């Protein structure tokens, strides 16, 4: 009995037991603290949308939601629009959010959050694309803003020149077969980036989704 | 033992400046100093992590067995880095975007682990917090000055305010960051060696005067 007690006592006093218990306690306490802060400091999808709107318009404007996959409200379309099944289209992407800013019957903006796939290592790029619907019926891309990306390592090569090349009239672009492409010379909207072709491809795909939507593929 | 706070402060900012003297944390220094504001953001994030991790490590220094001190320190540092990421994403989204990949990389920043190992694990809480604060200030100052230098020459602006239309693209490039870093280390070494030489001269002159007086 005494021998057993000694064994037990030496087990609890051993260095390795102390090491493991200290590491375990630290892990439990620190991860619990982080879990609490993660909840307290959580940034919701609507907060991120408001931030993007503020970045684009300076203030958060009044808007109508046409589509929002993250919306918690009833009556709002939450079905993502995928563009990867179209055999004719040479791109893969999806539209997650569409907001209408201004009067839909007159001159107004439509703001799209679209994801372009087929990036580097099969990753994606999410962009905000602002399309202006003019009173004469023309539709022009006014602004393209990066929201986030996945698996891309050379995003710094996608500079303002890359985003500015998207700012064109896209009224008949999809029906005329003019999509953004990384191949120089192919199609009307050539938008390559030397050294970051895959990432540029994902960016182009994101905008091509919007071009397709504006062109009537909904 | 009485803590010499003046020495801790001068060590952190000048004599053991983590960036310009110890050449630690070079990854964010080279990558993020394209703008002065980036330097401030990174510096403040590192300062926060330094102070918090130093305090906690100092508090737990007698409980953590020396065999597992490194994994324990990394665990503590990683917790505070994650906390900074959450705080920045919530409160300063622009800074969070700018720092990007370099924010989680603070976990493996040599400055923080070095201070935990060489200072916080051997000193009291207040001294460790002071050390974290001044090491952070030294790091922030170095990054901000380098960022301002590169921003002025590379973009003709400082803190985003345009000064002139003259720009030297080299200073915005990766090669420019290495050149700027080397230049700042050279200037810092030159100034600090000049100061220490003049101090030594003054001291030897004083010693000489004392000897003459004794004779």
Burial bucket for residue A190 (CB in 10 Å: 0-12, 13-18, 19+)? middle
Which residues of chain A are within 8 Å of residue B76 when distances are taken between CB atoms? 26, 30
Q: Which of B71, B89, B90 sits opposite A23 (nearest CB)?
A: B71
Q: What is the mean predicted confidence (pLDDT) over A74-95? A: 76
Which residues of chain B are within 8 Å of residue A41 when distances are taken between CB atoms? 86-87, 89-90
CB contact under 8 A, A19 and B65: yes
Q: Does B101 touch chain A (CB under 8 A)?
A: no
Total domains, chain B: 1
Report which listed range, A56-70, A171-185, A196-210, B98-112, is most confident. Answer: A196-210
Among A20-24, A87-91, A195-199, B40-44, whose mean pLDDT is lowest? A87-91
d(CA A170, CA A131): 9
Per-residue model confidence (pLDDT) at position B94: 87
Q: What is the mean predicted confidence (pLDDT) over B110-118? A: 90
H or E element that contains A188: none
d(CA B49, CA B35): 22
Per-residue model confidence (pLDDT) at position B214: 64
Per-residue model confidence (pLDDT) at position B73: 94
State the complex-level ipTM. 0.82
Provide the strand spans (E) within B29-148: none
d(CA A119, CA B9): 48
For the record, the structure tokens of B29 come out as 């220094």
Q: What is the mean predicted confidence (pLDDT) over A43-67? A: 88
Global pTM reads 0.80
Q: Whole-number mean pLDDT of chain B?
A: 90
For the record, the structure tokens of A2 come out as 């005494």
d(CA A74, CA A15): 58
Per-residue model confidence (pLDDT) at position A209: 92
Those residues with Cβ within 8 angstroms of residue A17's Cβ, 6 or more apart along the chain or in another chain: A11
Domain ranges of chain A: 2-40, 45-214
Q: Does A28 touch chain B (CB under 8 A)?
A: no
A-proximal residues of B, 46-65, CB under 8 Å:
60, 63-65
- Residue B152: which domain range? 5-214
CA distance A157 to chain B (A): 12
**Residue B108 scores a pLDDT above 90:** no
């Amino acid at each position: 009995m005494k021998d057993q007690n000694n064994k037990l006592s030496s087990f609890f006093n051993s260095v390795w037991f102390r090491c493991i218990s200290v590491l375990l306690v630290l892990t439990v306490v620190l991860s619990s603290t982080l879990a609490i802060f993660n909840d307290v400091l959580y940034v919701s999808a609507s907060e991120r949308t408001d931030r993007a709107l503020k970045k684009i318009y300076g203030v958060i404007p009044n808007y109508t939601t046409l589509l929002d996959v993250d919306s918690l409200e009833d009556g709002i379309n939450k079905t993502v629009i995928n563009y990867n099944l179209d055999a004719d289209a040479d791109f893969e992407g999806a539209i997650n959010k569409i907001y209408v800013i201004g009067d839909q019957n007159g001159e107004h903006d439509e703001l799209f959050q679209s994801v372009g796939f087929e990036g580097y290592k099969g990753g994606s790029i999410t962009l905000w694309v602002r399309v202006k619907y003019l009173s004469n019926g023309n539709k022009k891309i006014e602004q393209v803003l990066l929201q986030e990306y996945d698996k891309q390592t050379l995003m710094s090569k996608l500079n303002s020149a890359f985003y500015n090349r998207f700012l064109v009239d896209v009224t008949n672009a999809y029906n005329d077969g003019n999509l953004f492409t990384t191949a120089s010379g192919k199609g009307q909207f050539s938008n390559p980036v030397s050294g970051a072709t895959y990432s540029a491809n994902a960016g182009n795909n994101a905008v091509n989704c919007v071009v397709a939507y504006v062109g009537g593929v909904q | 033992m009485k803590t010499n706070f003046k020495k801790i402060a001068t060590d952190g900012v000048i004599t053991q400046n983590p960036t310009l003297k110890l050449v630690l944390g070079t990854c964010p220094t080279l990558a993020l100093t394209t703008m002065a504001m980036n330097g401030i953001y990174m510096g403040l994030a590192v300062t926060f992590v330094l102070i918090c991790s130093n305090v906690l490590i100092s508090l737990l220094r007698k409980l953590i067995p020396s065999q597992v001190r490194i994994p324990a320190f990394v665990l503590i540092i990683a917790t505070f880095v994650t906390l900074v990421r959450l705080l920045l994403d919530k409160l300063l989204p622009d800074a969070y975007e700018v720092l990007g990949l370099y924010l989680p990389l603070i976990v493996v920043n040599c400055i923080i682990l070095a201070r935990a190992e060489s200072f916080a694990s051997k000193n009291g809480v207040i001294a460790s917090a002071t050390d974290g604060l001044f090491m952070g200030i030294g790091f922030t100052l170095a990054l901000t000055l380098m960022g301002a230098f590169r921003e002025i020459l590379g973009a003709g602006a400082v803190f985003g305010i345009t000064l002139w239309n003259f720009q030297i693209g080299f200073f915005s490039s990766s090669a420019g960051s290495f050149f700027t870093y080397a230049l700042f280390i050279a200037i810092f070494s030159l100034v600090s060696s000049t100061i220490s030489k003049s101090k030594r001269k003054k001291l030897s002159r004083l010693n000489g005067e004392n000897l003459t007086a004794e004779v």
